[in-house]
Structure 1
Amino acid sequence: MTGKLQVVGGVERKNHDVDSSSGFISCIDSLPEKYKLDFEFKIKLIKWLQKCGVSRGRRKLVDENIKKFFELHPDIKVKRPSASAVMGWMREWEISNNNPACLISKNFQRKRVTNLSDFIEQEVQKVLKEEYFVRSRPSLERAHTMLERRLQMFRSKEQRDEKIPEVSISSLRRRVQEVDPYIRDTLRYGAFYAKNKWRYSLHGNYTNRALQRLEIDHTILDLVVIADASGMPLGRPVITIIVDSFSGYLVGFYISFAGAGLAAVLNCMKVGLMPKNTFTDHVNFLKNPWLGYGVGEMYVVDNGLEFHSKQFVNAALELNTDIQYCPVRQPWFKPSVEHFFRELGFNLPAEGKVQKPLANYLPINPAESARISFSELCNGLLKYFVDVYPTKINSKTLEIPFDLFKESFESTPPPLLPTNLQSLGLIAAHQKTLSVGNEGIVTNYLRFNSHDLQSMRRKISPSFKTTIKYDPEDLGYCYVQNPVDLTWLYVPNCHPEYANNLSMLQHKAIRDRLKQSAIQGDKYESHLRAKLEFIELWESITKGRKVTKDIKSALRFGELTSTKSLSVPEVVELKNKNDQLFTKDEMKSEETSIPSFSSYFMD
């Protein structure tokens, strides 16, 4: 009837973006502890007075019962209120129809009253926008100094009637805290930092079966390994893995020293496509089978150059699969592979492990403590990927990756397999444009040739340039493209005993080693000395020598063969025919008698 509306009760709204100044209290638990204790005391006291039959208009009885209430409840540490205050609480309680919100202190949502004028507020916002919320991230003290300088300029002009007060740094800090934290981090650190700091996940990756979403990534292992043959430290290898997003099960891995590139990714995809009998049948330390194989429905990758290359896209088209690129600098879109790398770092051996640098601590040189060979590393990781990690119970879902992948793998149709891996290897190979001649193809001090290549050369041209492809992990062969019909020809290496299963990295290391040994062995200096002596020899021969003009006599009597010229001249001595070194009597030997020997037996 009075035209006023008061909310007595209600439920919490679904929208959480409710203005805190609306005066709406969703529940008692949302109150701070201070105001919650005050509210509980008021309710308890009002209920006590109602039980005693005291109405709010009888001041004397209210005061007496308040004293009696505190005598019966000595544990209450609240200051005893006056009768007038309690009567006011009872009045609001009855008028609001027992609404608990009327008893909550109004200081709970009290707004701080600012004493700054609109002009000062505008200047504060300008200074914060220009001097604080910028990517250089200056300090708040600097912004406060710039604000004071601006206000001092306005004071000196004296163009305004009101007095311009000083703004404290606490007031400036409160204005900064009023800005949304996400926007504050975006302005000062950038959008990528803010997204990483305030990221969230709602529904996960939306996978419901195995091989639906495979995540690929590579990293450098925090471990220095040694060579199997020489025991010399080789460095830190790069590992590339493929993890099933549905179960967290590892489908394939590839370890090399060639770095994180296209060859490592495609070789890892080859391992993931093939059945794993090739890797598990010859070992006896595995207890579980390696289940994963087949073409994935989707491969999730980051934004590395190898994943944006034409060869990788062509490989995806060849396998009839999809590629999904994660947003830039947001690795949490492929969490399974990132979590796998984190767990792998905790399970590497201590010998040769790279340690994190700490203050006032000299870490052990991993090259000196390395004891794990490359083959031992591969076998150990195979054991970890097949038996250890897949059998670990997930702390969140309480599921085992091996069982989850096996159940899904058996309940879905058989996985797709590529028709052949040669086409994938051809796509993954490195490409060059070289000349084909009578020697075949010569590149990186290696020669490739075959009868088929020479037959193709005779049909096209004695020498022509074409595209070749070679596998950097196996220099025992290459592919040569026919420039006429654009087909590819397999050409083996002319030295298979050296080049088969030889990587480009090994080939360069061998050549560098031989070159270094030649330099240290004084081979170059000896060659230079011999060349200088050769030049001096020609100069000494040509100086002061007259040329023979009688060519016929030179040809008749000259020794014009290298054997006669270079051989040692023989000394000829005239001897009689009867001269002999030994006579027949001197050549007879004296006959000696054989002595007799006696024998005996020893008991």
Structure 2
Amino acid sequence: MIDHLLKHDWVFDDESCVNDSDNEEFSEKPDFKSVFDFESLPTDRKSEVKQRLNILKLIQDFGHGGVTREAYDFVVETKLYSVPSQTTVRGWWQRWVYSGFKVESLLPRYHLRGNRTSKVSPAVERMIADAIRSRYLTKKCHTVGVVYIKLLEMLEKENVGRSVEFQLQAPALSTLTRRIRALDPYVVAVARKGKAHADRLYKHVGMGVTSRFPLDVVQIDHTVLDVILTDENGTLLGRPTLTVAIDVYSRAVLGFHISFDAPGWKSVMRCLSMAIQPKDSIFKRYSSLRFGWPCHGIMLTVLLDNGPEFHGHAIEDAANGLSIELRYCPAKKPYYKGIVERYFGTANTKLVHRLPGTTFSNTKARGDYKSEKEACVTLPKLEEWFTRFVIEIYMPSLHMGILEAPLDRWGKGVKLTSIRLPDPSIPMAVLLGEIVFRSLTRRGIELYGLMFSSEELALGLRRRIAVLGKNKAKGKVKVKFDASDMGRVWVHAVPNEPPIYVPCIDQEASDGIPLWQVKAVRSRLLADAKIQQKGRRKSLVEGTAELQNDIQEYGETARRKKRTAKRLGRMKEGATIRAAADYSKLKPTNTLNDDNIFRENERVEATENITWEVGFLKGIKGAGE
């Protein structure tokens, strides 16, 4: 399939991007970082944020590593605040911790409530777009009212040929107004007032991001690919997410990451790791590649989406360690990342929509194609084809946005600057690895069902206790790892000290194995175990009941034997006392020679034995009755 694609000469246009020569210098670009002004919030929002922060600080002071049941109950018992469910509080805690303890992460997300899906039919939406284009986006500068009248005329004309039950309903004027307000202001200004006027008003809004040389600015974004993947056994896995890094200057793909993980800082870190490192390992894996991929190095600026999943201490730690500036696109301004968005469309159209199991971009394009039935592509195979698409099709093809191939543009641009590379003595997993927090014990670190331990880690634990004290040392430690190879981790056991390299105890199940595969194997084993337990449930219940009955019966028998033994002991003691009393009544003899003494002893002993045997027989008879 990929060979079929290689037979064509591709041209990738980019009308949404303006040639770099027409743009202003990078130094004049606005700062895209969001500035949080707490005092500007409404009173009710400030009160809500303060209450959430106070609750989380109580949990933090409790000191048992997150929103545990004990910490949650402690906050509830204080009766200082109205505390929601533990799940809700845990969500606050995770956003707060991952954001680097930023207050803005606790803002109520009311804008995500309710139904955000349009209730207007697709046919009416198309008419709204046509009315806006023909009346509003013109030099005549018609008002919204004129556009609405045009829309009503179009609907009336369309409904003439429709039956009563299929009549199109006219939207409200407010619906049309919202559609117009959602338009790019730069596009509106160009259509109604001309490009020169639009440039004066929105010189930074509509012209996107500029770059002076390779690795000056890199855009990173994600999208869900239009294809359903399976595992080796044919089980449907769903649609994967693609995260890609594009160099703004050359439009070259620096790196990408495909997985089933939710978009966020983890996928960004893996994508950055591929973008920064040389691609030698890729050419060893795929030896038949006909073009090179020389694009790598540490970039100066990374432009990210402004979603909360891209804010966090992990990305900030990595950026600080590599001297990378992070910038975030303004909300609801997709044209700031138009270059990478355009690439997503190219990848879907030129590669993904040609794969078995594709879902296409919409239901109309899919038609009667059964995506689930045709799906057969695995994740490793998609990674191989996507790599070949980038190197052999996209990079050497003419790009209309820059009027040359990205590969050629990169080659010319690197002569203008030097490529920064990371310190080779520091593993990439330490610089860009995923970050989790785990408890450090004498057994080591447990991560996704794998155990990591070493002598150095044991020494680190003792060092941690010596530095922090026994109580504080119980807190969780920061663990970094490479998600593409779970054979080792790096543990920050002691604050302000280098991380400790710790291998996995089971190297056969972890060395060279990616995280997604470890999770898949673990999930499959757990599912198989549950199925086995379900099949054995009847036997387990019966066996448990039989064992309990045996234990109960054994206990009752032992208690009966114990009571019988005590009763026999008491009867023997009573018989001995009565025999002694009877003997004391006998007439004593006056003869004290040896023969008389011997005969007297025999008589006493015989009397005692007879008396005890009679008492024993009576006792047994009474017990039987």
TM-score by length of 2: 0.54
CA contact (8 A) 2:265 2:315 kept: yes
Q: In the alignment, is residue 366 of structure 1 matched against residue 371 of structure 2?
A: yes
Aligned pairs for 1:145-164 (under 5 A) are none
CA contact (8 A) 1:250 1:292 kept: yes
Distance (whole Å) between structure 2 residues aligned to residue 324 and residue 514 of structure 1:
42
Aligned pairs for 1:570-585 (under 5 A) are none
The corresponding residue for 1:166 is none
CA contact (8 A) 1:318 1:424 kept: no
Aligned pairs for 1:161-310 (under 5 A) are 176-177=145-146, 188-189=178-179, 191-193=181-183, 195=185, 198=188, 205-227=209-231, 229-310=232-313
Counterpart secondary structure, 2:524: helix
Seen in structure 2, the aligned counterparts of structure 1 residues 324 and 407 have a Cα distance that, compared at 3 Å, is same
The corresponding residue for 1:10 is none
CA contact (8 A) 2:246 2:340 kept: yes
Q: In the alignment, is residue 542 of structure 1 matched against residue 555 of structure 2?
A: yes
Seen in structure 2, the aligned counterparts of structure 1 residues 485 and 524 have a Cα distance that, compared at 3 Å, is farther
Seen in structure 2, the aligned counterparts of structure 1 residues 533 and 271 have a Cα distance that, compared at 3 Å, is same
The corresponding residue for 1:354 is 359
Seen in structure 2, the aligned counterparts of structure 1 residues 256 and 547 have a Cα distance that, compared at 3 Å, is same
Distance (whole Å) between structure 2 residues aligned to residue 315 and residue 358 of structure 1:
41
CA contact (8 A) 2:488 2:501 kept: yes
Shifted more, 434-443 versus 422-431: the winner is: 422-431
Q: In the alignment, is residue 512 of structure 1 matched against residue 481 of structure 2?
A: no
Distance (whole Å) between structure 2 residues aligned to residue 527 and residue 353 of structure 1:
46
The corresponding residue for 1:316 is 319
Of Structure 1 and Structure 2, the greater helix share is in: 2
Distance (whole Å) between structure 2 residues aligned to residue 175 and residue 232 of structure 1:
52
CA contact (8 A) 2:314 2:435 kept: no
Give the letter for the 2:327 counterpart: Q
CA contact (8 A) 1:306 1:312 kept: no
CA contact (8 A) 2:276 2:298 kept: yes
1:444-496 deviation digits (Å, cap 9, x = unpaired): 43322111122233445487334131434443333322336543212222222
Counterpart secondary structure, 2:237: strand
Q: CA RMSD in A?
A: 3.6
Give the letter for the 2:344 counterpart: F
Q: In the alignment, is residue 393 of structure 1 matched against residue 404 of structure 2?
A: no
CA contact (8 A) 1:235 1:367 kept: no
Q: How many residues align?
A: 378
Seen in structure 2, the aligned counterparts of structure 1 residues 473 and 204 have a Cα distance that, compared at 3 Å, is closer
The corresponding residue for 2:457 is 453
CA contact (8 A) 1:352 1:369 kept: yes
Counterpart secondary structure, 2:250: coil
Counterpart secondary structure, 1:247: coil
The corresponding residue for 2:417 is 413
Counterpart secondary structure, 2:287: coil
Please say which structure displays the higher CA radius of gyration. 1
Counterpart secondary structure, 2:309: coil
**Percent sequence identity over matched residues?**
22
1:194-253 deviation digits (Å, cap 9, x = unpaired): 5386376856643342222211111111112232x4343332221111112122111111
Match of 1:478 among 482, 486, 489: 489
Q: CA deviation at 1:340?
A: 0.7
Match of 2:510 among 486, 499, 503: 499
Seen in structure 2, the aligned counterparts of structure 1 residues 210 and 423 have a Cα distance that, compared at 3 Å, is same
Seen in structure 2, the aligned counterparts of structure 1 residues 523 and 269 have a Cα distance that, compared at 3 Å, is same
Q: CA deviation at 1:261?
A: 1.7
CA contact (8 A) 1:393 1:399 kept: yes
Unpaired runs of at least 5, structure 2? 1-117, 121-141, 151-173, 191-197, 200-206, 567-625
Q: CA deviation at 1:424?
A: 5.1
Q: CA deviation at 1:370?
A: 1.4
CA contact (8 A) 1:185 1:194 kept: no
Match of 1:327 among 326, 330, 345: 330
Distance (whole Å) between structure 1 residues aligned to residue 365 and residue 385 of structure 2:
33
Q: CA deviation at 1:540?
A: 2.8
* Structure with the larger RCO, 1 or 2 (CA within 8 Å, 6+ apart): 2
